[in-house]
Chain A
Amino acid sequence: MLFRLTGLLAGMLLVAATAGADKAPASVRDLSYGEVLYHYYQDDYFNSIVHLLKARRQDTLDYHASEAELLLGGLDLSYGLRNEAGRIFTELLDEHPRAEVRNRAWFYLARLSWQSGDSNSALAALQATGDDVSPSLAAEIAHLQSLVLLARGDNAATVELLGNVRADRAWSPYLDYNLGVAQIRSGALTDGSRALAQVGELNGYNETRRTLRDKANLALGYSYLQHDEPDRARQYLERVRLEGPLSNRALLGTGWTDIEAGAYGRALVPWLELGSRNATDPAVQEVLLAIPHAMTRMGLHGRAVEHYEQAITSYYAEQARLDESITAIRDGELLLALQEAADDNGTGWLQDVDAMSASPVLRYQVELMARHDFQEAVKNYRDLRRLDDNLAGWAGSIGAFSGMLASRRARHAAQRPVAEAALSAASINTLAQRQRLLTDRLNTIEQQQDPMALASDEENRHWLALQTLHARLAMLPATAGINELRDKQRRLRGILYWNVSSDYKPRLWAAKQQLRELDDLLGRTRAAYAGLAAAGEGAPVDFDGFELRIAELHGEIDRLQTRTGALRLAQGRHIEAIAVAELEQQKQRLEQYLVQARYAMAQTRDTALNSHTTEILP
């Protein structure tokens, strides 16, 4: 159950961002932190960690630094980096001012200890968590603590703990289940049954809940069976789904309830059904012995002997299949199958039961995958493959980076003389000089309040023409016609002057505005020049810097590829060793069944002979 909950646990890593899709997300104040969350919410722990490390290095986590540290610890934990996660959580405990963050850190440290088998440290860390926790974390803490206590056999403490917990809805079935287990173990059958029965009636809207419901009913059934209450046991065992993962064990138990009740014939109904199922399942192997046992009790010695013989044949066949599987595993076929399985969650490939039972290497994977160490080993193996893919991808890119840098360097070298020529020209200084002259001129105009200095080109032309006319008229005799012309010239000159001088202030303002714009333009031009000059000076250094970094990183990719390859090989061997050890154990179990079958068959024959049965013994 613990492993199935990993997803739920991971969903509660965050302090600020709520995990529920129906709730408004807390707004992200650092884009880079939001990017980390984007990968994290897709269960892409690798890229979440990479982006978080990058954001930390680039110092872009202004607002979310402390949450980011806690998130990083949680991500490390999910990605199997227990040592690093432990270091981060311990640091948070020492340094973090917020009790809520420290409590989470304690909780994750407890999980770490629990995962590495240190229940003492796990318990100590859990007991160190304070009251300042969210309801969901409180439930998680209670759940983990109950698992630790149950593992230590401290049933009374588990009952006390879970009796006082008020969990949120998502967690209560798991806590109820553990409570029921602890109560039954400590002898409180009635209380324990009540707790388990509640879980046994769970609304099964998803497979996780349906399996938990089956598990509760199965546990209840076997508890009642152990306490000599076969009728009640049967009632719960019959609630287990016939097609679920626990159905074989439920069918086996149902048969035993009938045996306990003395209804041997009725026991054969579930047992014969179970006996027809896949013989790789231990429950099926066991029922092959149980069927003739029931028949013997019914006095059907002949049929019992027949079934014992069938069981023996089946066990031998199963042993042969196990040998075949062990050989296939040793030939590397298991690793090949693991490589081919492309799904992300690592269990989807186990769904195709028919294909699996036909394959020697996959035939026993369901049982193997139920083992935590095997699951972890496979997870690591797949992670190593992804690391390999990741490094291969970068190995291609780094070559492209080198090429890109080389062509950029060549282009820069070709353009440099042109840029240098532009930079060395004194044009910027000439422009600045001209701008200064214009400013001085405008200042003089303003001081002298000379409106005609701001006349337009056309106005100046007219002004000049009128001045010339005035000089020429002055040289002519003062006749009536000439005087009229002089009056006209004076009038026109007055009008022109009036027009220009009445517009003096707006013209002065416009001229100043233009100068300001020119000033701004010059400033920008200077900045662009400076930038260009800096780029010119800095570029060769950057090229060299990039070249060095590329070379270093290229070397690191090569080194890590070698290490990944070696570790993949070692991890592959480790997986094969676990699988073979498991199958050897199954062979030993079959060996025991074989001994029991032979003994029981001989005993049945003896009984039959001694009772002078009329049945014809095979």
Chain B
Amino acid sequence: MQPKNLLFAISLLLAALMSSVQAHAGDDAVQSLDSEIQTLKQDVLALNRELFILEEELLYPSGTQVAVFLSMDVGKYFSLDSVQLRVDDKVVSNYLYTSREVEALHRGGVQRLYMGNLKAGDHEIIAIFTGKGPNGRDYRRGATRTVSKALGPKFIELQIVDLEGKEQPDFTVREWE
């Protein structure tokens, strides 16, 4: 290789290293394919929205609908492994969390843990949380609440919150209006 080739090679390499220019889809056919895919994605998203609404209305009519959510407020004193949910002493959900899901909860996400139907009247909700408590010890705690179901949907939120003063986690059941 001649010195001029060397310089050429170096220049090429430097250009590659230093340039942040992106390769762009150039021709119209590619642009049109991309646009078609975008439109399709939007149509499938809209279809999913309609199907989820249909499913909800069909399986969980508003008169009897009950949804249980789970959230964390910081949650630094408790590392969540699983939650068991009982409604009127019947287990309706047993959920095992992945680290990604726990992270999403830590960051403020709210999980829809359960959706079902309940008749009007009083019902007992029991949630049993399993995981690691302060100092990495195995931790199993329950939270319970009797909720009154009227005609219309009922939303319940299970919360894992930090009791800063006691340096302990706390578990609550909250009803949404």
Contact = CB atoms under 8 A, between A and B. Distances in A.
Interface of A: 1-2, 17, 19, 21, 24-28, 31, 33-35, 37-42, 46, 49-51, 53-54, 57-58, 79-84, 114-117, 147, 150-151, 178, 181, 184-185, 215, 218-219, 222-223, 225-226, 249, 253, 256, 259, 286, 289-290, 293, 371-373, 376, 380, 383-384, 387, 390-391, 394, 397-398, 401, 404-405, 531, 546, 549-550, 553, 556-557, 560, 563-564, 567, 570-571, 574, 596, 600
A372 to B, nearest CB: 5
Contact of B41 (A54, A58, A387, A600): A387
A37 B104 contact: yes
Contacts of A21: 103, 106-107
A226 B9 CA distance: 10
A35 B110 contact: yes
Most buried by B among A38, A384, A405: A38
Nearest to B120: A528
B22 A115 contact: yes
B18 A218 contact: no
B30 to A, nearest CB: 7
Among all A-B residue pairs, the 5 with the closest Cβ atoms? A34-B110, A25-B108, A38-B109, A41-B104, A117-B24
A290 B13 CA distance: 15
Q: Is the interface of B mostly helix, strand, loop or mixed?
A: helix
A19 B30 CA distance: 35
A225 B11 CA distance: 10
Q: Is the interface of A mostly helix, strand, loop or mixed?
A: helix
B111 A35 contact: yes
Given A31-B110, A556-B43, 16 more contacts: A25-B73, A28-B71, A38-B101, A38-B111, A40-B109, A181-B18, A290-B1, A372-B22, A390-B48, A391-B44, A394-B48, A401-B54, A553-B47, A563-B40, A564-B40, A574-B33
Interface string B41-79: 111111111111111011100010000010101100000
B112 interface: yes
Interface residues of B, number: 65
B112 A2 contact: no
B93 interface: no
B42 A84 contact: yes
Contacts of B107: 17, 19, 21, 25, 37, 41
Nearest to B176: A31
A180 B151 CA distance: 66
A219 B18 contact: yes
Nearest to B29: A574
Given A286-B9, A567-B33, A596 B42 contact: no
Contacts of B10: 222, 225-226, 256
Contact of A37 (B9, B48, B109): B109
B104 A35 contact: no
Given A31-B176, A34-B69, A54-B52, A84 B6 contact: no
Contact of B53 (A19, A40, A58, A376): A58
Given A57-B49, A549-B54, A567-B40, A151 B108 contact: no
Nearest to A76: B42
A28 B46 CA distance: 25
A84 B38 contact: yes
A223 B11 CA distance: 9
B34 interface: yes
A314 to B, nearest CB: 16
Most buried by A among B22, B111, B157: B22
B63 to A, nearest CB: 8
Interface in B82-141: 100-101, 103-112
Contacts of B7: 226
A546 B63 CA distance: 17
Contacts of B18: 150, 181, 184-185, 219
B19 A383 contact: no
Most buried by A among B7, B44, B101, B157: B44
A218 to B, nearest CB: 6
A401 B49 CA distance: 16
B37 interface: yes
Contacts of A181: 18
Contacts of A38: 101, 104-105, 109-111
A83 B25 CA distance: 15
A385 B140 CA distance: 41
Most buried by A among B7, B41, B47, B157: B41
B35 interface: yes
A249 B13 contact: yes
B38 A394 contact: no
Contact of A600 (B1, B33, B52, B57): B1
27 contacts: A19-B107, A21-B107, A25-B107, A31-B69, A35-B109, A37-B108, A37-B109, A41-B109, A50-B45, A57-B53, A79-B41, A80-B41, A81-B38, A82-B38, A218-B17, A222-B13, A226-B14, A259-B6, A290-B1, A387-B40, A404-B58, A531-B151, A556-B50, A560-B44, A563-B43, A571-B37, A600-B1
B27 to A, nearest CB: 11
A46 B41 CA distance: 9
A35 B40 contact: no
Contacts of A28: 71, 108, 110
Contact of B35 (A54, A83, A372): A83
A387 B1 contact: no
A553 B51 contact: yes
B36 interface: yes
Given A50-B52, A147-B20, A373-B25, A384 B110 contact: no
A299 to B, nearest CB: 17
